[in-house]
Amino acid sequence: MGRKRDPTQVVKSGPGKKAKKQQPPTFPGLLTEDKTETKKLSSRQKKRLKNREEKRQKFLSMKKEKEESYQKLKAMKKSKQVEESKENKSNNNNRKRKISKQESSEEEEDEDDAELEDESEEDGINEEAESSDEEEVESSDEDPQGYTDDNKLWLKPSKRKMDEDVSESEEEDENDSDDDGDDDNMDDEFDSDEDEEDEDENEDMLPIEKAAKKLNKKQEKDRKLAEAELQTNISEMEKYTLPSGQEIEKESQQPPDLQLILQRIKEVQHVLGDFKGRREPDRTRQDYLDQLIKDLCAYYSYNEFLMEKLVQLFPHEISEFLEANEVQRPVTIRTNTLKTRRRDLAQALINRGVNLDPIGKWSKVGLVVYDSQVPLGATPEYLAGHYIIQGGSSFLPVMALAPQENERILDMSSAPGGKTTHIASLMKNTGVIFANDANKDRAKAIVGNVHRMGITNTVICNYDGRKFPSVMHGFDRVLLDAPCSGTGVIAKDTEVKMNKDEKDIQRCSHLQRELLLAAIDCCDAKSSTGGYIVYSTCSILVDENESVIEYALNKRNVKLVPTGLDFGKEGYVNFERHRFHPNMKLTRRFYPHTHNLDGFFVAKLKKFSNKIPGAEEKTRVATEMADSVNVAEDVKKEVAVKGENQSGEEPVKDNKDTAPGKKDNKKKGSSKWNKKDTAKKTFKPGKFKKFKNNDGKSKQKKKPKSKN
C-alpha cells in the first residue's frame, strides 16, 4: 500500500516561486558595454598623448643625466678629500677645521639625498636611495653644474630656453587650432574630456615650465608698464607749440592735410586737459580754443558759429560727439500694440530675414534693426499696420506724457503721426486725440499713418499752433514737439553743419516760446487726471531748451516735474552766463555719443492755475487808459460848444437838394447826417457796419417807389 514516511527524516523543501531570487537582467549585445574595449581617441587626443609621452621620456633622460653628474661630483669630492687628508695630517688645527667642514658637508649631502628622493617619488621614478653610511666628503667651493633644487633661488633659466619653451607652446596651439576643424562635430562628452586633459597637462608640467610661464607673464607686464611710463614722460616733457601765422598762411594756400589737422586737434586737446602745466608761456587759452575750433571746422565741415556752440556744450568730449554725428543711428521700429505683440512681430520679421533685437529695457515696444533682406516699408506686416518706422528718441516724449485712458489730449505739432499713433496705442483707442499741424501737406502723412495703424479716436486739424487756444482749450494733457534747428539729428541732415547761424537759432527760439505758451493755455489745470505739458525738441542747444522752459516758468503758472525716464543726462542749471531754475535738473538730455540715440531734450510741466500772471493788471491799465481818453474827448467837445455860443454865430447846416422822385420827409435838426453820436463804438474785424443807431441796429434806406 505504499512506503511509510519516516517522521525522523524530514526533507527540506526548497524555496517557493515567490521566494526565489530574481536573476540579474540580460541585455542585448548592442546595449552591453564591452569593458575590454578601449575608448577611441580623436586625432587631437592622440597628439596630446604623444606629446605627453615624449615629455615624459625627456624628463626621465634628464633625471638620469642629473644622477650621473651627481655621482661624478661625489667621486671628485672623494678624491680631493683623500689628497687633502694626506697633506694636512701634520697640522692638527687645520685638521679640526676640516673635521668641522666635513660635518657640515655631510649635512648638506644628506639634504641633497633627501631632495633627490622626493623628486624621484613625485615623478614616478623608483630608484634606490643611497646608504647613509657613505664616507664623509669635504664640500668644495665650486658651484654645482646644471639646474638643481640647490640653486633654484639664484639661478634663472636663460632667455634662449624661455624662447624655445614659448615657441613650443605656440606650435602646440597652432596644431590644436588646425585640428579644431576635424573635431567640430564632437559631442559634449568629448568636450568635457578635452577640458580634463588640459587640466591634467597643466598638472604634468615641469616646475621649470611653470616658472618660465610665470616669468614670461611678469616680463610682459613690466614691459607694458615701462612703455606707458615712457609715453607719459615724453608727453610731460614735450610742450606743443601752436603754428605761427606764416605756417597758417602756407597751409591755407595748399589743400588741407587731414592727418596733420587730426594730429593737431589731439595735441591741442591734450594741452587744454592740463592747461597750466602744458601751455606755452606767451599763449592764452583763447588762442588754443581758436585754433581748435578752426581745425574742427576744417576736419568735420562745420561753420564757426555752430562749432563754438558745440565746444561750449562738450569741452572734453567734442571729438566723440562729432564722430557720432558722422555715423547713422540704427533703424528702429515701434510695435503697434493695438494689432500685435512685440514677440510675435519679431518672430514674423525674423522669418522674413530681418536681423533685430529689443531696443532696450526702457521700452517694451521698440525693436532695433541691424540689417534686413527685405525693405521694412513694404512688408505685409508694415502694410497691415503692425509697426511703424520711428526713431528711438521719439518714444521718449510720449513715455514722459504718460497718457491715460478716456482723456482729451492735444498733439500740437504732430506730423507725420508717429507720436500720435503711440499715444493712441497707449490709450487703447479710448478718449479723444487732436492731432494738429500748421503745414497742410505734412498733415496728409498723419491721415495715412492713422488709417494704417487702425486709430479711431483721433481728430486731425490744420491750425497755427500759436492761435490754437482761441480755437479750443481745456485739454487734460498737451504734447509739443516743437520745430527746432535740428542740431541733434545732424547724422540725418548734414546740411545743418553749414546752414544754421545765429539768426536761425533766435528765430526758432522765439517760435518755440510762443508755441509753449499756447500749449500751456490749451491745458486745463483743473483736470482730475492731467494738467501736464511735455515739451521736446530734437536740438541740443541751450537757447532752444532750458531758456525756453525758463521763459515759460516766468510767464505762466507752471512747475517742472520728473519726466519718469530712467536714463539720460540732467538739464543744465548753470551754463556759461545763464542761471536757470534749480528744478531744471528734472529735465532730460540725450546725446548720440552716450545713448546711441538722436540728440533730444524732454521736459515735463505741471499747470497749477488757469490764471495768467499779470493779465489782470494789464486789463486794469488798459481800461484806465481808455477812460482817460474818453474824458479828454468830452472836455474838447464842451470847450468847442462854449466857443460857438460866445461868438453868437449859428452852426452852418448842409442844404442838399433831394433827388427827384424822393419824398422830402426830413425834419429840421433830425437828419442822421448832422446828428453826432457821442457813444463809443467798437468795431470787430470782419463785422464792420457803416450805419448804426444808438441801439446798435443798422438801418437801410428804402428804395423810392416809382410813380405810375
37 sits in which H/E element: none
How many angstroms separate the CA atoms of 503 and 507, rounded? 6
Report the sign of the C-alpha dihedral through residues 194, 195, 197, 201, in that order.
positive
6 annotated as belonging to a binding site for a ligand = no
> Is 437 flagged in the annotation as binding?
yes
Residue 481, annotated as binding a ligand = yes
* H-assigned helices in 379-431: 380-383, 395-401, 418-427
With the C-alpha atoms ordered 593, 596, 598, 599, is the resulting torsion angle positive or negative? negative
What helix, strand, coil percent values describe the chain, rounded to 5?
Answer: 50, 10, 40
Is 371 annotated as ligand-binding? no
CA-to-CA distance for 136 and 104, rounded, in angstroms?
Answer: 10
Cite the DSSP H helix spans in 123-186.
159-180
Task: Give backbone dihedrals phi and psi of 334, rounded to 5 degrees, phi first.
Answer: -115, 130
Q: Provide the 10 A C-beta neighbour count for residue 54.
A: 10
Catalytic residue among 297, 522, 523, 538: 538
Active site annotation includes 484 = no
Instruction: For residue 472, give the C-alpha cell.
Output: 479750443
Check whether the bond before 416 is cis (ω within 30° of 0). yes
Q: Is 464 annotated among the ligand-binding residues?
A: yes
Three-state secondary-structure class, residue 532:
strand
Taking every pair of Cα atoms in the chain, the longest distance, rounded to a whole number of angstroms, is 188
Q: Is 626 assigned a ligand-binding role in the annotation?
A: no
Q: Are strands 588-590 and 569-570 parallel, antiparallel or unpaired?
A: antiparallel
509 among annotated binding-site residues: no
CA distance 408 to 412: 13
- Say if residue 677 carries a ligand binding annotation: no
Of 485, 488, 477, residue with least CA distance to 600: 488
414 is in an annotated binding site: yes
Question: What is 307-345 written as a DSSP string?
Answer: HHHHHHH-SSSHHHHHHHHTSPPPEEEEE-TTT--HHHH
Residue 528 labeled ligand binder: no
Query: Which triple of cell numbers denotes residue 486?
Result: 535740428
Contacts of 42 (CB under 8 A, 6+ apart): 182, 183, 186, 190
Calculate the CA 630 to chain-centre distance: 66
Q: Which residues carry a binding-site annotation for S-adenosyl-L-methionine?
A: 413-419, 437, 464, 481
Q: Which residues carry a binding-site annotation?
A: 413-419, 437, 464, 481
**Active site (catalytic) residues:** 538
